[in-house]
Structure 1
Amino acid sequence: MIRISSRIRAVIFDLDGTLMDSMGVWNEVDREYLGSRGIEVPKNLSLEIGGCSMYQTALYFQKRFGIQDSPETMMDEWNRLAYELYGTKVRPKKGAREFIASCHSRDIPCAIASSNSRELIEHTLKSRRMEKDFQVILSGNEVRIGKPDPFIYRECARRLQVEPSDCLAFEDLPDGIVAAKKAGMTCVAVRDEASVDVQDEKETLSDGMITDFTELSF
């Protein structure tokens, strides 16, 4: 059990693999997108692009796989492929709703800092009736430099009007943990099936690790 420090004044969540059990969706999108072009999905692709913004991922795909589509065209297709899956298959991690409610009962605002698109973030939250739970949402559409750069976390803190040192971040991948720590935040790692290969690294980089949000208390 991890006890939340009394100095924490805001909580910021990564979305995929952290707040939501959704990394499998992107594995499916990658298989369909690359498979339609006769390309096999490389092992550990999700770890290589895990912290990237969608724009950075598109540039990566252009360089690695020789795809000629523009980044905007690629992002539109990814959103189309993922939209239905996010609305029907993606669920919050165990205890997430209750933890967010506990934050709100203590006047602790919550935010999302995700490499995903705003369209998919908002679609996911509305599908789960969680759209009113977050005071700030910052997406990969709004940053050209993704994690491990700390910009997305610093900008979330600025919009929340809270010092980064008073923020608690939750992340499932090493790049995200590094981004939060570089921003000056406390960061708790979340275990996820998609990142079991880097679990030791996550534990080393973070300030603690949980399997789900029932392992937290105030």
Structure 2
Amino acid sequence: MGPFQAVLFDMDGLIFDSERMCYRAYLRTARAFGFQMNPALYMSLCGKIEREVVADLKHAFGEDKDVVTWREYIKKQKTAVRMEQNGRVGKKKGLLELLSYLQERNIPYALASSSVRSLIDEYLEAEYLTHAFPYIVDGTQVENGKPDPEIFLKAAGLIGADPANTLVLEDSYAGICAANAGGFTSAFIFDDLTNMDSVTEGYPILDQPVGNREKIRSEAVLSFDSLADVVGFMEVLR
């Protein structure tokens, strides 16, 4: 494995501590509409574009459930939770160090997030990172969301990167699979939600996914405890 010539970042749960915030919105919605929710189901939805999240929720709870209404409520609750945090989402450990390293070494990088651009911009502004990512691909710019590699291939094209020499940093199973499918080197950084609550009453989960660290790590080429560890790894490869 030689030096990486470019790096692609996911957003939620990878550079921002936004998955915990989002999961709290799911828990509130589950209690309001009467359906079960747990970290494994939530983690199986992470990294996917809107229509695929809706499809997966229908698969989990049944085609007769009005999951579109649930999703609208979830989005409102995400905003509510963030406002309760003074509008902040929280930067992940090592993010600023890694961005500084890439800039100092003139290594191109881009953000590839399944979220919509308006939300991406809100998060970046909230964490004073408005100009930190000059190249961004959002979920509305692709036909196929993760685990399809389209979003990473598009992001790589923006910065002129060869997938074979590009590191993709991800925290979701869908994202790791997308990176692998695109010929990138996938790197898993676990965003641990397992200590959070579950809702065990209401509409049952018909097909319980397996969403855990071991499953995702088994698919990833590399694994790090935090973004801070990526700097040392890349420097050793130089």
User: Which TM-score band applies after superposition, normalised by the shorter structure?
Assistant: 0.7 to 0.9
More strand by share: 1
Q: Which protein shows a greater Rg?
A: 2
Alignment of 1:163 onto 2:177? no
Q: Output aligned runs, 1:7-86, within 5 Å.
A: 8-42=4-38, 44-65=40-61, 66-68=64-66, 71=68, 76-86=72-82
**Any unmatched runs of 5+ in structure 2?**
196-210
Post-superposition Cα deviations, 1:10-61, rounded to whole Å, max 9, x if no partner, equal 2111111211122111211112223222223255211221232122112333
Shift of 1:89: 4.3
Q: Output aligned runs, 1:168-179, within 5 Å.
A: 168-179=167-178
Taking the aligned partners of 2:8 and 2:194, their CA distance within structure 1 comes to: 20
Post-superposition Cα deviations, 1:109-144, rounded to whole Å, max 9, x if no partner, equal 221112222222111111111121112222223334
Matched letter for residue 227 of structure 2: F
Taking the aligned partners of 2:176 and 2:194, their CA distance within structure 1 comes to: 13
Q: Under a length normalisation based on structure 2, what TM-score does the superposition of the two structures give?
A: 0.78
Would the alpha carbon gap of residues 94 and 114 (structure 1) be closer, same or farther in structure 2, given more than 3 Å must change?
A: same
Q: Output aligned runs, 1:97-108, within 5 Å.
A: 97-108=96-107
Aligned to 2:114: 115
- Bigger mean CA offset, 140-149 vs 158-167: 140-149
Q: Is the 8 A contact 2:14 2:170 kept in 1?
A: yes
Q: Under a length normalisation based on structure 1, what TM-score does the superposition of the two structures give?
A: 0.85
Post-superposition Cα deviations, 1:65-110, rounded to whole Å, max 9, x if no partner, equal 43437x5x66554433223544634211111111111101112222
Count residues with an aligned counterpart: 212
Secondary structure, counterpart of 2:164 in structure 1: helix
Aligned to 2:206: none
**Any unmatched runs of 5+ in structure 1?**
none
State the identity %: 24
Would the alpha carbon gap of residues 199 and 44 (structure 1) be closer, same or farther in structure 2, given more than 3 Å must change?
A: closer
Q: Is the 8 A contact 2:25 2:75 kept in 1?
A: no
Shift of 1:182: 1.1
Matched letter for residue 107 of structure 1: N
Would the alpha carbon gap of residues 74 and 139 (structure 1) be closer, same or farther in structure 2, given more than 3 Å must change?
A: farther
Taking the aligned partners of 2:38 and 2:220, their CA distance within structure 1 comes to: 27
Would the alpha carbon gap of residues 11 and 43 (structure 1) be closer, same or farther in structure 2, given more than 3 Å must change?
A: closer
- Bigger mean CA offset, 109-118 vs 80-89: 80-89
Q: Is the 8 A contact 1:54 1:141 kept in 2?
A: no
Shift of 1:153: 0.7
